[in-house]
Amino acid sequence: MAEAAPVLEVSGLSKRFGALIATDAVDLDIRPGEIHALIGPNGAGKSTLVAQIAGQLAQDAGEIRLAGQEISGLSVAARARAGLGRTFQVTSVALELSALGNAMLAVQARASGLWGFWRRAAADRRLIEPAMAALARFDLDGRAQVPAAALSHGERRQLELAMAAALAPRVLLLDEPMAGLGAGGVGPLSDILEGLKAETPMLLIEHDMDAVFRLADRISVLAEGRIVFAGSAAEVQASALVREIYLGTA
Ligand SMILES: Nc1ncnc2c1ncn2[C@@H]1O[C@H](COP(=O)(O)OP(=O)(O)OP(=O)(O)O)[C@@H](O)[C@H]1O
């Protein structure tokens, strides 16, 4: 079977900070239906690469294509409108609103072009049904009326994902979604991501290696700004090179 065309395709992406080459001619793609994990030691360039893809950092060289369209000249907002979704290391929900109110914002943002007139969304009853559906997909329908400030850390992560998915992105960049979740939270969130990937392929940046090995269809290993290995979880685990440069246990 021919491979499906990538949803996101990064080629030759580079970023230099003075003498330091943070990303060095990175090639990476995300195909429909997959979770592609990006791992690497501290300082490898993962955050820099994500910031370049999302548009917070301009690249020195290279191209980024989303569904075939070159997006690297677009602003962060224009990339989001083109279908580049993202979650952050720190959650970005509105703490004073309920889970439902937050989900309604995301549903409304999709209808009106991302986060316009957002405070009014909470009063628009037409948004309730799709917002409840978004919450239900992420096991939060029972918590709809709870203020986001009173949700557990794991629930806030779920809410943030529900909001990102409600925007129906073509691809989702996940920046350490398991951070701070603890043993009890990683499993449920992993189940949710597994359920989401058929519809929304993801680039997963994650330090929790058990979660990476469970979830990733492909793993790319970044070291000193370069992709030094790419393969399945089994191939990464079996690689002496990866052990040496990443795990430091060769
Ligand atoms: N704005 C900046 N100015 C100068 N150097 C930077 C800047 N941002 C990142 N760097 C450097 O670029 C390199 C890559 O950093 P980056 O944060 O992308 O790595 P990372 O793989 O995300 O690390 P971690 O896993 O610790 O988050 C590091 O050496 C870092 O110090």
Sign of the C-alpha dihedral computed for residues 54, 77, 33 and 87 taken in this order = positive
pLDDT tens column, 98-122: 999 998 888 877 766 555 555 555 5
Between CA 204 and CA 53 the distance in angstroms is 13
Q: What's the whole-number mean pLDDT along residues 226-246?
A: 91
In this prediction the ipTM stands at 0.95
Q: What is the pLDDT of residues 133-155, one digit of tens each?
A: 999 988 899 999 999 999 988 88
pLDDT at 123: 59
- More confident of the two residues 38 and 94: 38
Between 93 and 31, name the one with better pLDDT: 31
How far is 83 from 185, CA to CA, in rounded Å? 28
Would the pLDDT of 247 be above 70?
A: no
Contact between 157 and 188 under an 8 Å Cβ cutoff? The reply is no
Q: Are 204 and 212 in contact (CB under 8 A)?
A: yes
CA of 48 to the centre of ligand 1 (A): 6
Q: Quick one: which of 115, 138, 139, 141 has its CA closest to 128?
A: 141
Name the closest-CA residue to atom 2, ligand 1.
17
Cβ atoms < 10 Å from Cβ of 240: 9
Q: Are 240 and 250 in contact (CB under 8 A)?
A: yes
The reply to whether ligand 1 has any atom less than 6 angstroms from the CB of 46 is yes
Lowest-confidence segment of 77-86, 103-112, 167-176 by average pLDDT = 103-112
Q: What is the mean pLDDT of residues 21-36?
A: 97
For the beta sheet containing 35-39, the strands, ordered from the edge strand earlier in sequence to the opposite edge, are: 84-87, 171-175, 202-205, 35-39, 218-223, 226-231
pLDDT averaged over the chain? 88
pLDDT for position 250: 41
111 C-alpha to ligand 1 centroid (Å): 36
- Give the DSSP H or E segment for 26: strand 20-30
| Lowest mean per-residue pLDDT among 50-59, 62-71, 74-83, 119-128 | 119-128
Please give the C-alpha separations between residue 153 and each of 51, 92, 106, 235, 250, in angstroms, as whole numbers.
Answer: 24, 12, 19, 33, 36
**Does any ligand 1 atom lie closer than 6 A to the CB of residue 42?**
yes
Residue 45 in contact with ligand 1 by CB distance below 6 A: yes
More confident residue, 31 or 1: 31
201 lines ligand 1 (CB under 6 A): no
